[in-house]
Amino acid sequence: MEIALILSYPWWYTVFCVICGAIYAWLMYRKEPLLNEVSTWTGRVLIASRFLMVTFLAFLLLGPMIRTFSREVEKPIIILAVDDSKSIINSKDSLARKEQIKTDFEKLNNELKSDYDVRQFSFGDHVAEKIEFQFQDRLTNFTQFYNYLDVQFTNRNVGAIVMATDGLFNEGTNPVYGPSRIKVPIYPIALGDSTVRKDLLIARVNHNKIAFLGNSFPLEIIIDAKQAAGSRSNLTIEEDSVVVYNRAIEISGSNFHLTVPAFLDAKSKGIHHYKVKLSPIEGEVTLINNQYDLFVEVIEQKQKVLVLFAAPHPDLAVLRQTLESNLNYEISVVKADEFTGRLGDYNLLVLHNIPSVAGNESALLKKVDEAGISTWSILGASTNIEEFNEGKFGISISQANGQLNDVQASPVENFSLFTVSDELLDAIKTWPPLKSPFGVYQSKASCTCGRRILEMAVDGF
């Protein structure tokens, strides 16, 4: 370790510190009568102490700092990674192949660890900081692995990435792009068989983990086929050996890809086990990937919606009819001044023309703010805009003059919280306009309401 003293000013400024100390001590004791009453050595000690103290204080004004230098030698990091997907050992002698990969990789690790800091990883449908050589993952996602390395090893002394894989991937981007922030060489170890063989497989099934009783819930089945043009298969979904979905699959090319949407009915509560199966085709290299198991929990839980209104309006009947068409919603429509329940008992609050011009809902709005409940505000001709601006609704309306505008909804292009179908986006553009209070709409600085999905358009702008 090296230690150095540095100053904010040139070193020759210390001369002035010494001069200041000497002048101060001289002025302090040049006519001091007490020096005559003490011994010569005591007087000299007092003068020297005063001189040193003032000199030191003046020296501190130069901003001295002590800088330490320490050096630590760190071994370069070598990242050893193994693709843990099923395709690696997809051969007749899979056990011997698995043992051979394990033996070779352990030998490589032993050779490198004396000179390098070796970090081991396995990747497939997830990333693990160890290599288990199980080869059971159904997915291979290089992007997820690269992103993990970017987070863990940015600005670290990484020397190289050694990656054993067959190069096949069914999720994420192409592996040739590599990590975005770690610019190090990647040394691939080619595994598997590069020969493309005849195979039909279920690559992935997208589904929700929870469904509501009495509803239909969607599945999205991703089917791939290699070198199987002209073949036919049958896609089935079974629950307790009972077929609940059936569809014929015609394979039209040697590199076939198909996304099949399916809808199942949630008829009973509990955890349901579904098996998605593809009937085998002649000459298929393996049948392991022809089946996919998934679990969906069906629950009975109604979402409670409270609609509070200031005065009767045709919108209220439409709201009730629309929301009650979904069996998972329990709707309560109550006049604001007649509501005596607890706002915390509801999942959503709809305020229709509240705060109103004719009423006094300040106490209600205070309870809404305290409850922290999700709120949908519907404004109209009888809405008190000034009082609305004072509330915690996330937006304010300035330059309001009591008039209404015909406005239409315009979808926000970069909305990404969930997917909106193109059919719905096209339909929104054709819907009739709504009446909205005239004014300039702005988000408040304290707004934490998230992203917008629709914007207001007046006369197409």
The average pLDDT across 353-369 equals: 85
Identify the three-state secondary structure at position 353: coil
Percent of the chain with pLDDT over 90: 23
Quote the pLDDT of residue 24: 84
The average pLDDT across 161-175 equals: 81
In tens, the pLDDT along 93-110 reads 678 878 888 888 889 999
Residue range(s) in the chain whose domain bears CATH number 3.40.50.410 = 77-190
Per-residue HEC secondary structure of 376-437 comes to EEECCCCECHHHHHHCCCCEEEECCCCCEEEEEEEECCCCCCCCCCHHHHHHHHHCCCEEEE
The average pLDDT across 181-188 equals: 85
Quote the pLDDT of residue 449: 58
Identify the three-state secondary structure at position 138: coil
Q: Which of 80-94, 146-160, 326-340 has the lowest mean pLDDT?
A: 80-94
Quote the pLDDT of residue 73: 81
199-299 — its CATH code?
A: 2.60.40.10
303-457 — its CATH code?
A: 3.40.50
Quote the pLDDT of residue 437: 85
In tens, the pLDDT along 65-101 reads 888 888 888 889 999 999 888 877 766 667 887 888 8
In tens, the pLDDT along 10-20 reads 888 888 888 88
Q: What are 313's two structure tokens?
A: 């309006």
77-190 — its CATH code?
A: 3.40.50.410
Quote the pLDDT of residue 50: 84
The average pLDDT across 38-49 equals: 79
Torsion angle of C-alpha atoms 398, 399, 400, 406, degrees rounded to 10: -100
Residue range(s) in the chain whose domain bears CATH number 2.60.40.10 = 199-299
In tens, the pLDDT along 421-449 reads 888 888 888 888 888 888 888 877 666 55
The average pLDDT across 161-187 equals: 81
Q: Is residue 273 over pLDDT 90?
A: yes
